[in-house]
Amino acid sequence: MTTGTDHWLSWGDALRVLFVSSEVAPFAKTGGLADVSAALPAALARAGIDARICMPRYGSIPIPAPSSLVRESGGEIVETSLGDVTVWMVDHPGYFDRPGLYGEGGRDYEDNLERFAFFCRAALAWCRQSGWIPDVVHCNDWQTALIPVYLKIAHCGDPDLRDVASLLTVHNLAYQGVFPAERFSATGLPPELFSSAALEFWGKVNLLKGGLVFADLLSTVSPTYAREIQTPEFGCGLDGVLRERAHDLYGILNGADYTVWDPWVDELIPARYSAADLSGKAVCKAELQREFGLDPAPEAPLLGVVSRLTDQKGLDLIAACLDRIVAAGAQFVLLGTGDPKYQDLFRNAARSHPGSVGVRIGFDERLAHWIEAGADIFLMPSRYEPSGLNQLYSLRYGTVPVVRRTGGLADSITDATPDAIERGEATGFVFVDYTADALWTAIERALAAHRDPEIWSRLVQAGMAADFSWDRAAAGYVELYRKAVERRRAGRDFGDRGYGG
């Protein structure tokens, strides 16, 4: 995708974009979506877009003050800000004042359909009520996927909202918001939309599918994932729906927020450093070893992982390599939370390898930064990875990533072939087959490179110099917003498919 031209950027100056997301850092975060939802609107604002954020106010977020409270169908909108960007929070204690975002103890909340349908309706109702009518609503994942449906169906005759365009970004196709058929009425949509051409999927309600059918444009978070999800292997059952909209589907790789994730400005790490002077990185490594109870061995290669513990992330491959990692004289640290089977697996591994393997189960922002800074090598052997942020952060911290060639990992890491090292382009180690042996071969290559200071320095320097800043991605989104608005104003699209609107 090309970046915005002057023409588009000047056109974009007047654009109003409502960015709707179920998580936004630092207010609420379970994964990369939160980082994106904070950094992208800020980059859009820098590009001259009038971007505002809308999210739920979860119980963990204190009611911001000063706030402007507006009653809205059983909830309220609370206004705060993130940098220069206005944030509107949908406050409905009955739905959102709970310990988790989507569930607790590994179980989703029973009423997630009602919760997020309410969130979507409240976001649109607030636009009408406040008079701030966006040109585009940028929706993210299943929690916001009803918005395009409401715009096309419920608001098609509404003079305020009928021209509002929608873009739906898929951050992870595996999460679709699937609910029993008998709950469909909670969407407030006409019963005929519970059909295979709309929100019905194998006899159930599928919110993401509704968004994929009704949004003016679709995107996902890397070009490779945009292609992958149109195949049965990665399509999670929705590849047919996505192939039908192939011409409306774009892939824009996520960026990294270097105001938060850069060892030169990072306030959470033990010592700051830069590409020109890496001495602080050695301090970070020693502190990380101490924090995780590892032997204080400056020379031992230290491999790190920060991850949601889910089947997506290739944790079974890592576990299968741990004995070999330790036998090779390397150390390993992991920070993560999620599936109990992985939590147990890695807790046990730490017990089996005291001094060499350190594991922390939990969500800890500070330790995530510590691992990025203190490790030598970062492992991301994902089964699939829509974009991935941690490999981008690793590059900036001089922590060489070992990744599987899928999704955004394929689009961001250049394998350390002799040629690529020679040209100064290599930034990591890439493997293809989803097997422990393939991962181990890549780790062995990384360990061999680590023993050669000159080669290692080339890898570290190339990674630290790589630029994945958000401004580039933001220019891509500005283009998509413009296209979405054109689509909407041309009014084709769903009229053709018999949905009115």
- Are 132 and 164 within 8 A, CB to CB? no
- Are 391 and 428 within 8 A, CB to CB? yes
Residue of the chain from 307, 394, 399, 427 that contacts ligand ADP (CB under 6 A): 307
- Distance between CA atoms of residues 501 and 488, nearest Å: 10
Q: Is 390 a residue that touches ligand ADP (CB under 6 A)?
A: yes
Q: How far is the CB of 367 from ligand ADP (least distance, A)?
A: 7
Q: How far is the CB of 57 from ligand GLC (least distance, A)?
A: 22
- Distance between CA atoms of residues 435 and 234, nearest Å: 17
Q: Is 428 a residue that touches ligand ADP (CB under 6 A)?
A: no
Residue of the chain from 56, 177, 374, 388 that contacts ligand ADP (CB under 6 A): 388
Q: Is 100 a residue that touches ligand ADP (CB under 6 A)?
A: no
Q: What amino acid occupies position 318?
A: I
Pick from ligand ADP, ligand GLC, none: which does 307 bind, CB < 5 to 8 A by kind? ligand ADP
Which range touches ligand ADP (CB under 6 A), out of 88-96, 305-313, 315-323, 343-351? 305-313
**Dihedral, CA of residue 256, residue 262, residue 265 and residue 270, to nearest 10:** 130
From the centroid of its chain, how far is CA 295? 34
Question: If residue 336 lies in a helix (H) or strand (E), which one and from where to where?
Answer: strand 331-338
- Distance between CA atoms of residues 187 and 8, nearest Å: 36
Residue with tokens 């296209």: 483
Angle made by CA atoms 452, 458, 461, in degrees to the nearest 5: 130
Q: Count of alpha carbons within 13 Å of 359, Cβ hemisphere only?
A: 21
State the binding string over 348-367 for ligand ADP (x if CB under 6 A, else -).
Answer: ---------------xxx--
State the binding string over 4-43 for ligand ADP (x if CB under 6 A, else -).
Answer: ---------------------------xxx-x--------
Total site size for ligand ADP, rule CB under 6 A: 18
Q: How far is the CB of 316 from ligand GLC (least distance, A)?
A: 17
Cβ neighbours of 492 (radius 10 Å): 10
Q: Is 343 a residue that touches ligand ADP (CB under 6 A)?
A: no
Residues that bind ligand GLC (CB under 6 A): 31-33, 36, 171-172, 221, 254, 385-389, 408
Q: Is 389 a residue that touches ligand ADP (CB under 6 A)?
A: yes
**Dihedral, CA of residue 259, residue 265, residue 269 and residue 272, to nearest 10:** 150
Give the burial class of 369: count Cβ atoms within 10 A of its Cβ; 0-12 exposed, 13-18 middle, 19 or more buried: buried
Residue, CB closest to ligand ADP: 32
Q: Is 337 a residue that touches ligand ADP (CB under 6 A)?
A: yes
Pick from ligand ADP, ligand GLC, none: which does 221 bind, CB < 5 to 8 A by kind? ligand GLC
Residues forming contacts to ligand ADP in the complex (CB under 6 A) are: 31-33, 35, 306-308, 335-337, 363-365, 368, 387-390
